[in-house]
Structure 1
Amino acid sequence: MTRVAPQPALDFSITDDQVANIIASVIEEELATNNAIAALKPEEQTYETIVVPLARIENNLSGKIQLASSLSQISPDAVVREASVEAEKKYEEFSIEQTMRHDLYEVIQEFINKTDLSTLDHEDARMLKKMETSFRRNGLHLSQEKRDEFKELRKRLSEVCIEYMKNWSRESSSITFTKDELEGLDDDFIGGLDTREEDGVKKYVLTMKYPDVRPLLKLCKNENTRKVHMTAFESRNRENVALLDEAVKIRRECAKILGYKSHAAYVLEVKMAKSVESVRNFVDDLATRLKEAGIKEIEILKNLKEEEKALRNEPFDGKINSWDTSYYERILLEKKYSVDQEQIKKYFSLEPTIQKMLEIYAKVLGLRFVKVPSDKAVVWHEDVQLFECWDDVEDKSFSGYMYLDLFPRDSKYPHAACFPFQPSYIKEDGERVAPIAAMVANFTKPTADKPSLLKHEEVVTLFHELGHVMHHLCSRTKYARFHGTSVEGDFVEAPSQMLENWCYDSKSLKYLSSHFETGEPISDEMIDLIIKSKNVNAAISNLRQLFFGIFDMELHTSDDENLDSNKLYNDLREKVSLIAAPEGSCGQAAFGHIMGGYDAGYYGYMWSKVFSSDMFYSKFEENTLSPEVGYSYRKCILEKGSSKDGMDLLKDFLGREPSSDAFMRENIGIN
């Protein structure tokens, strides 16, 4: 018998007026609750009058806030997107006002001071401890004058960050080339491009979106075309440079007001790393150990370039440029490992791959997915799919909803990410509100005669982002604030990075693959080549990630009021990644992470890789599809959200202190 989900999915036939009304009602409810608590007399300050209403309002309103703000990145309706941006601004301003309320702080802090937190439920006590830390980090212990200054700075910072992200997500520049200039790109790709006449010549239009950028940089034989496109790509959103510079100055000022040495010190206080010194030691050590291997990898690519230039009777500049790395890495893979991504992608048609990927998640995590028919799913775009998720191990209960929005369109979020629309929590009557999340990506759209085909790296992206969705669907916490990926910023990627390993597992790859024409699975030989090629140019790849982390950390530890972010970015790009940025470019203008919540936190991608390797190689390596280990992972890591510290979650799952041994073994060829 088909079971009916106990709660409805979201209704995305939402208008701009409704978006505005949602935020208006959220603000009204939250304000009323805060006012009531702030007005409590000392004898009225109890658990029931403070903790219960605070938890209730946060639980009830979190999903509404997340939904209203997410529409700016996904809605195809420009009016709704604008309403979402305005709603986010309005709520941010209100939220800053509320977190700076001294009357509210005095009541809650007084209650905390006189309460033995050890007598409370674990999540209750944790919530109050987090509040206490938050009060201090919001400067509520400061004088009125300093609080007012801090509040105004935070308001402006919010505006700047929203404007930057709006520019980034709506970037729509393009560049044109003749068909000859696109030598190496297949007819299917070129046939899918828009065209225009320029001076009587037919030109093909390429955007700065990944479905255009990646194929061109990997496949185009014309170096000048790659150079021109890469330069345009790395120079997009130039208007964001001033916004980033302003944000960095404001963050520095805010940190100083609160008594921190730098914005990075402020951010890291609540991360696993805890201090700037520990992060610097980590990234500097890795960069040092990877440098020699990186130089060797660049020499190999340089030799390939010299050989090709000789065959094409073209001059060789003696360098590997930023527009060369993807192209010659592709040639290296084809020559050394016969890894032809154009052949591999024929085995990973999007729809069957998603279905089989969900079957792997279902088996390993003990879940069941049911696709909702398109005529019964109210979604924000016709391409979007909706799935129900059910527990398949314990009580067979409803676990939540998952949306998939996988193809590019104008003004849509340009990368791949998980959007959490509704966190899970326990209502006052004891019932659980199920979570709702979406995976948003930009894979190539199917054509009339060919499905959307995924390169192996896109299969990895799909597995990774779905991993974040699983974190939401499996989370079981009392409070919304501890749900899903609300873990420390330098741990949040570890669960999904760990799941990427399935994309390099022979059993899983065989199961996932199916030739889009014949239905045949990928051959053992091709699987072997994919696995062996995993760490090709690993040093260059990891050095690039380290560069982003080091730039982010330098930006947010500097005391230089006149810091030139462009010079810092380009100098570090060449020093750390060993490859220079295109001349005149401004890559930091499209570095969305450090304006969208990862400021002083990008190092976390590499930091969390250490833990992801430990989890996978310690627990899953012998049997990657083990339901027993998968269920333990679900219970110890995913289910707990941030109701415990990330380090404690790791210890619970591993049964010991985490170690870097597995990471070193995995990357043994580049140590």
Structure 2
Amino acid sequence: MTNSAPAPSLDFTINAEQVNDITKAIIKEELEVNNAIAALKPEEQTYENVIPRLIHLENTLSGKIQLVGSLSQISPDAAVREASVAAEKEYEEFSIEQTMRHDLYVVIQGVIDRADRSKLSAEEDRLLTKTERSYRRNGLHLPEEKRNEFKDLRKRLSEVCIEFMKNWSRENSTVKFTKEELEGMDDDFLGGLATEEEDGVKKYVLTMKYPDVRPVLKLCKNENTRKTHVTAFDSRNRENIVLLEEAIQLRRKCAKILGYKSHADYVLEVKMAKSVEAVRNFVDDLAKRLHEPGLKDIEKLKQIKQNEKAARGEEFDGTFNPWDTSYYERILLEKEYSVDQEEIKKYFSLETTIQKMLEIYEKVLGLKFVKVPADKAVVWHPDVQLFECWDAVEDKSFSGYMYLDLFPRDSKYPHAACFPLQPSYLADDGTRVAPIAAMVANFTKPTADKPSLLKHDEVVTLFHELGHVMHHLCGRTRFARFHGTAVEGDFVEAPSQMLENWCYDSKSLKYLSAHFETGEPISDEIIDRIIKAKNVIAALLNLRQLFFGIFDMEIHTSEDDNLDTTKIYNTLREKISLVKAPEGSCGQASFGHLMGGYDSGYYGYMWSKVFSSDMFFTKFEADTLSAETGYSYRKCILEKGGSKDGMDLLVDFLGREPSSDAFMREDIGVQ
């Protein structure tokens, strides 16, 4: 193995002024190339004069674009964060303008039309196909009058979506309860709430935010309180109904102008599923197969409800409602599975878990990780760790850099995610530019006398997000455009979801765990409980996800000009999820995914989950630490990125068409 890795190609110590300068330089370079291509004389409009220049531009600028955009989420410097937000906005506006340039389209489309595809590599051919398709999807092939109409519709659609999301994020309605009505809620929870006096009675004020809603639905013993809170929660943002319904009409008009049957057909063209029919078959098949197991889940929870009502001396009316699911699921978990997260935490200290996790990735994927000493690593915050990644199987070459930024701090990205910072590609001289990715999370910080300890679901999160990082580090495409996680939107989660299965595998859990004081591995009994609890009321919970996906498809394939989304939402909710919506509610008005980029795409959560189960249980279940299977997975799935269709990659790896059998058997418990 070579001893020295190249220096990271991105500099995270840049200041706000440099962020601004880099952005200006990116825009200047891109504009110069675009202008030069648009100005070519007809005889100069050749493949060699156009396509390699565009590829070079995209390859060399994509890392810089990622860098200036990511700093808003990770930099500890407020001025840098502000500059990054401004940079992203400026580049986004510039980009939209460039993709709509008709003069550029005419030249590039002409070159694509004349290209001899037989002489191109598979990746070059795919690049041309994708470029051509994005022009068509932007309406550039339309006559000027239609182009302008399309542009106006899209502008209005953007305004409507922004308005919807603004209402959604600023929503501030509340409900008020007395202490008696909040029976079951502990003093810590109550102490964090605002209070008001009403007719001499102290009332607690609860918002529609998750930290208020979820604990009440899970713990509050007063059914009427849960009912009131969930009804208010599902009735919020009523003003968004008209915005959603306008957006659906605008999307349909845009799709029709471009020649698509529906908005869903337009969206799915670039997804792994490809067609409305494929998605319909998928969701309908799952809904059918989950229906009976879902009814059994409800019967099980109803039985618990009946017993609990009797113990409380209350009448049981035989119903099961949306404010019952979380509450009785908790009782079921406590009674039958006694999974104690506080106990589990002691076996998963962050440093040890990461070290063991990387060892699993090394073994399975044929990689080698080397931590860069803190005094040698150029990072954006002292908490950040840097690792080199090397190939350990083929040519022992340097594979890229991984940054871990794992603890909370002010104004940092609040969730867990992989930030792909530098895509890999082949440079003009044939050398490979190494990829760089960061995993960003917010785990509890260690203290002087106690390490950071992870609950089991945090171990799952860690494995999942590191899975995205591996997708990035193992990518081996020619062009930056297809690198790593640049796959279809309904396939991007599948490789990471597959890796979550290691967290429910007894051999892997034993390997990952070590009590932070004694070093003892976790007991078989606790492992058994973790694995058994995984699928508790799985059918019911998955039917809820399916309902969202089916509703999304329904409204985006409808031809009805007077769509009543409330009626469709509430009817489908009862039919698919088996639980009736609260009286008078309008859950779709706060369904942010529909206006935040997941329109006609919500099915993708279940789609990728089903395929991830198929991959794991077909290939890895027999031996989760098999280097042979892992290497095949690295070659067939991770290396290829988006250079082939996701379905083709899946078939290559599985050796057959994918199926939902493993998901039903292993994730739902239905043979």
- Scaled to the shorter chain, the TM-score interval is 0.7 to 0.9
On the 8 A contact 1:170/1:411 being kept in 2, the answer is no
Contact 1:366 1:631 in 2 (8 A): yes
Distance 2:15 2:433 in 1: 25
> CA offset at residue 420 of structure 1?
2.2
What one-letter code is carried by the residue in structure 2 that aligns with 1:359? Answer: E
Gap change, CA 1:664 and 1:401, over 3 Å in 2: same
The structural deviation recorded for 1:448 is: 7.6
**Structure 2 residue aligned with 1:257:** 257
Partners in 2 of 1:46 and 1:280 — Cα distance? Answer: 43
Distance in 1 (CA, whole Å) between partners of 2:413 and 2:91 is 21
**Mean Cα deviation higher: 164-173 or 647-656:** 164-173
CA gap of 1:230–1:514, structure 2 versus 1, over 3 A, is: farther
Amino acid at match of 2:58: E
Q: Describe the shift of the 1:582–1:414 C-alpha distance in structure 2 as closer, same or farther (beyond 3 A).
A: farther
Moved more, 260-269 or 556-565: 556-565
8 Å contact from structure 2 (residues 488, 642) kept in 1: yes
CA distance in 1, matches of 2:51, 2:179: 65
Q: Which residue of 2 aligns with 1:576?
A: 576
Q: Please give the alpha-carbon distance, in whole angstroms, between the structure 2 residues aligned to 1:238 and 1:351.
A: 46
Q: Which residue of 1 aligns with 2:606?
A: 606
Pair 1:66–1:215, CA change in 2 (3 A):
farther
Q: RMSD of aligned C-alpha atoms?
A: 3.8
Task: Name the stretch that deviates more: 596-605 or 436-445.
Answer: 436-445
Question: Is 1:285 equivalent to 2:285 in the alignment?
Answer: yes
Q: Which moved more, 1:68-77 or 1:319-328?
A: 68-77
Q: Where in structure 2 are there 5+ consecutive unaligned residues?
A: none
State the distance in 1 between where 2:447 and 2:195 align.
24
Name the residue aligned to 1:28.
28
Letter in 2 for 1:94: F
Deviation at 1:74, TM superposition (A): 5.0
Query: Residue in 2 aligned with 1:631?
Result: 631
Mapped contact 2:8–2:401 kept (Cα < 8 A)? no
Aligned to 1:484: 484
- CA change 1:186–1:230 in 2 (3 A) is same
Matched, 1:50 2:50: yes
Q: Could you tell me the percent identity over the aligned residues?
A: 78
CA contact (8 A) 1:234 1:582 kept: yes
Deviates more, 1:22-31 or 1:293-302: 22-31
The alpha-carbon distance between structure 1 residues 440 and 230, as it changes in their structure 2 partners (threshold 3 A), is farther
> Partner of 1:347: helix, strand, or coil?
coil
* 1:369 corresponds to 2:369: yes
C-alpha contact 1:407 1:443 (8 A) present in aligned 2: yes
Q: CA deviation at 1:264?
A: 0.5
Distance (Å, rounded) in 1 between the aligned partners of 2:479 and 2:249: 35
The equivalent of 1:417 in structure 2 is 417
User: Residue type of the partner of 2:23?
Assistant: I
Distance 1:461 1:186, change over 3 A: farther
Aligned residue for 2:91?
91
After superposition, the C-alpha distances for 1:319-339 in whole angstroms (9 at most, x for unaligned) are 443343233223212322333
Alignment correspondent of 1:530 = 530
Distance 1:399 1:202 in 2: 61
Deviations along 1:370-409, one digit per CA (max 9) or x if unpaired, are 4455666565566654443332323333323334445566
Alignment-mate amino acid for residue 549 of structure 1: G
CA change 1:564–1:630 in 2 (3 A) is: same
Letter in structure 2 aligned against 1:329? E
Letter in 2 for 1:606: M
| Structure-to-structure mapping, 1:3-152, within 5 angstroms | 3-8=3-8, 10-13=10-13, 17-73=17-73, 83-152=83-152
Give the Cα–Cα distance (whole angstroms) in 2 for the partners of residues 434 and 141 of structure 1.
Answer: 37
Structure-2-length-normalised TM-score: 0.87
Instruction: Determine the structure 2 residue equivalent to 1:550.
Output: 550
Alignment of 1:206-245 (within 5 A): 217-219=217-219, 221=221, 223=223, 244-245=244-245
CA-CA distance at 1:53 after TM superposition: 0.7
1:305 aligns with 2:299: no
Q: Which residue of 2 aligns with 1:357?
A: 357
Q: Distance in 1 between matches of 2:170 and 2:449?
A: 30
- TM-score if structure 1 supplies the norm length? 0.87
Please state whether the residue corresponding to 2:651 is helix, strand or coil.
helix
Separation (CA, whole Å) in 2 of partners of 1:227 and 1:373: 55
* 2:486 aligned with 1:504: no
Counterparts in 2 of 1:448 and 1:322: CA distance versus 1, 3 Å = farther
What is the rounded CA distance, in whole Å, between the counterparts of 1:592 and 1:381 in structure 2? 33
SS of alignment partner, residue 557 of structure 2: coil
More deviation in 498-507 or 7-16? 7-16
Cα distance in 1, alignment partners of residues 442 and 564 from structure 2: 33
Unaligned runs of 5+ in 1: none
| Per-residue Cα deviation, 1:124-157 (whole angstroms, up to 9, x for no partner) | 1211111122222222221011112223433454
Residue 305 of structure 1 aligns with an amino acid whose one-letter code is K
Question: Distance between the aligned counterparts of 1:412 and 1:228, measured in 2?
Answer: 35
Q: CA deviation at 1:265?
A: 0.4
Contact 2:407 2:441 in 1 (8 A): yes
Secondary structure at 1:478's aligned position in 2? coil
| Partner AA of 1:638 in structure 2 | L
Per-residue displacement from partner, 1:47-98 (whole Å, max 9, x unpaired)?
3211111101111222333333444555566665555444444333332222
CA distance in 2 between counterparts of 1:84 and 1:348 reads: 35
Q: How many angstroms apart in 2 are the aligned matches of 1:49 and 1:470? A: 36
Q: Given the alignment of the two structures, is residue 428 of structure 1 paired with residue 428 of structure 2, yes or no?
A: yes
What CA distance in whole angstroms lies between the structure 2 residues aligned with 1:19 and 1:238? 41
**How many residues end up aligned between the 2 structures?**
669
Find the aligned partners of 2:174 and 2:452 in 1 and give their Cα distance. 23
Between structure 1 and structure 2, the one with the greater Rg is 2
Question: Structure 1 residues 572 and 339, CA, compared in 2 at 3 Å: closer, same or farther?
Answer: same
* Distance (whole Å) between structure 2 residues aligned to residue 585 and residue 79 of structure 1: 43
**Which residue identity is paired with 2:614?**
D
Deviations 1:169-216 (A, max 9, x none): 7989999989887766778x759x857675699999988776776566
1:343 matched to 2:343? The reply is yes
Measured after TM superposition, the shift of residue 31 of structure 1 is: 1.6
| Contact 2:193–2:206 under 8 Å retained in 1 | no
Q: Secondary structure at the match of 2:142?
A: coil
Q: Which amino acid aligns with 2:471?
A: H
Worse overlay, 88-97 or 355-364: 88-97
Deviation larger for 626-635 or 427-436: 427-436
Q: Deviations over 1:100-141 (max 9, x none)?
A: 222222222222222211211221121111112222222222
DSSP-derived class of the 2:438 partner: strand
- Partner SS for 1:141: coil
C-alpha distance in structure 2 between counterparts of 1:225 and 1:67, whole Å: 47
Could you say if the C-alpha distance between residues 299 and 356 of structure 1 is closer, same or farther in structure 2, counting changes exceeding 3 Å?
A: same
Greater Cα offset, 19-28 or 531-540: 19-28
Is contact 2:535-2:668 (8 Å) kept?
Answer: no
Are the structure 2 counterparts of residues 412 and 519 from structure 1 closer, same or farther at C-alpha, using a change threshold of 3 Å? Answer: same
How far apart, in 1, do the equivalents of 2:70 and 2:25 lie?
A: 17
- Give the deviation of 1:232 after TM superposition: 6.7
C-alpha change, 1:243 and 1:366, in structure 2 (3 Å) is: farther
